[in-house]
Amino acid sequence: MKITRTANRFVFHLGKRDKHFFLELMKLYPRMPSAHQPLSKSAPPSQEQSNQQLLDEALAEQRAENKKQLDALLADKDRFKETESGCRLSLPPGDVEWLLQVLNDIRVGSWLRLGSPEATLELATLSNLTAPDFFAMELAGHFQMHLLEALGGRGQP
């Protein structure tokens, strides 16, 4: 994947395989468990449950809105321009930051599904059950790295 930057857009040049992986990865959103984010470790029990419920509801609304926005992005034919080698995806800077959040949800959610391992998983420990989560976690990290490099200015021609 190569990223170029214009005055007001980031253009992602995705090969056919990168495009396939990107689209399949986006189908996994949202990946984070709905009640994973604890509000506080020290709140009084009387306040904790109602406040936690408010947080969970707000996060669910945010995920639903992100999913709607993601579906619109993926359906927008003007965003994906087919090329001989794959496609170009054009995004304004705000959408790049939003896409980083979506990718982070997929990456961290996959890590949680793997049992939150402390160290890198050994390939020998992967199974038919864990390999898809490991692959999703690593692939989301790969795309995040490229997006962060582009935001940092290293995605310019």
pLDDT tens for 4-15 read 988 899 999 999
pLDDT tens for 66-107 read 999 999 999 998 888 999 999 999 999 999 999 999 999 999
pLDDT of residue 156: 46
Residue 35's nearest CA partner among 47, 45, 49 is 49
pTM for this entry: 0.86
Mean pLDDT, residues 123-127 taken together: 74
Read off the pLDDT band of 29 (50, 70, 90): very high
**SS3 for 109?**
helix
Within 1-157, residue ranges assigned H as helices are 16-26, 45-75, 93-113, 131-151
What's the Rg (C-alpha) of the chain?
18
Domain assignments of the chain as residue spans, ordered by start: 2-38+46-151
Residue 13's nearest CA partner among 25, 2, 24, 26 is 2
Residue 113 neighbours by CB under 8 Å, 6+ apart: 31, 133
User: What is the Cα–Cα distance from 17 to 5, expressed in whole angstroms?
Assistant: 22
User: What is the Cα–Cα distance from 107 to 155, expressed in whole angstroms?
Assistant: 22
108-126 b/e with 16+ CB inside 10 Å = b?
bbbbebbeeeeeebeeeee
Read off the pLDDT band of 124 (50, 70, 90): low
